[in-house]
A and B are shown apart, each in its own frame.
Chain A
Amino acid sequence: MDYNCEEVTELLPLYFGGGLDAQGRAAVMAHLAGCKNCRIEAAAALKIVRACEEAFPEPDEAFARFEFPESKDAPEESTGAIETLTQAVEIVIDAFTITRKAVRLAQI
């Protein structure tokens, strides 16, 4: 996966914010190793990410505690085997979704 400068610039906030997978991080790092302009851009992006932590602080624990307007009964507990199978299916679905997004990103 090779990124051009415009793509790297778009990905830098994700890179510093922990939103890229290992392959994406490696591709960004490979580009930065060979591109001085993008290293300057990366330094700027890191500054903005850090400044945003101060400009947009985490809400405190008391903020937005959601209360359901009516009570809902919890569903019956499923058996352990069904729970495991359900989780396995979810992992496969999520892997497919991630792969599809990565293909789309590579096509940018």
Chain B
Amino acid sequence: MENRSDSGLVRLAAEGDVKAFETLITRHRSAAGAYILSRVPNREDAEDIAQETMLAAWRNIAAYNGGSSFKTWLIAIARRKIADLYRSGYANESAELDCDMPDGDIYCDENGLETVAVAADLSDAIKRLGGGERELVFLIYRAGFTYEEAAEITGAPVGTIKSRMSAVRAKLKKYLGEGYNGL
């Protein structure tokens, strides 16, 4: 079972094969889990979102048409579950506010307020990015999605993804080495 491709496992899972679905989930649980934890700070809430995501994937597996990768589809489900959580007035909603500032030293604090802060290092600077930018950095640099896949997950045009990534690199440039000016 472990040697099967995602598409093969999806076909089996759509016929009710529990082991096939479990293999799929095991294969992509790390990326989906890291995504959910990056956006839902409370561990218990993140666990709930993860369970809801996988349950929704199981119940809708027959509707998955293979137009995108299974990982893309799974993350998109997780994203919708998280959006539902925040729409319901989730207490940690401020963590999702997006500070779209060009200056690399200005970040959002935990209340979503712009603050001048010196990040300890690059990973710290990434963690301090606004919610939308941090999500994009995760999708592109951590989860390995293409710009097109990130556009599909977020619902933003590919051109927007490109310009936002360029802005993020500009924001992080002081940590990116001598001579870096960014493209």
Chain A residues in the interface with B (C-beta under 8 A): 5-6, 9-10, 13-14, 17-19, 37, 40-41, 43-45, 47-49, 51-59, 63-64, 66-69, 72-75, 86-87, 90-91, 93-94, 97, 105
Contact = CB atoms under 8 A, between A and B. Distances in A.
Interface in B79-126: 121-126
B126 A48 contact: yes
Interface in B1-60: 3-5, 7-8, 12, 15-19, 22, 25, 29-30, 32-34, 36-38, 43, 46-47, 50-51, 54-55, 58
A94 B169 CA distance: 34
Contact-residue size bin, chain B (C-beta under 8 Å from the other chain): 35 or more
Pick the most buried of B15, B138, B141, B172: most chain A CB atoms within 10 A of its CB: B141
A19 B176 CA distance: 22
Interface of B: 3-5, 7-8, 12, 15-19, 22, 25, 29-30, 32-34, 36-38, 43, 46-47, 50-51, 54-55, 58, 66, 121-127, 137-138, 140-142, 144, 146-147, 162, 169, 172-173, 175-177, 179-183
B38 to A, nearest CB: 5
B54 A64 contact: yes
Contacts, number: 131
Contact of A74 (B17, B34, B46, B123): B17
Contacts of A86: 8
Contact of A5 (B7, B127, B183): B183
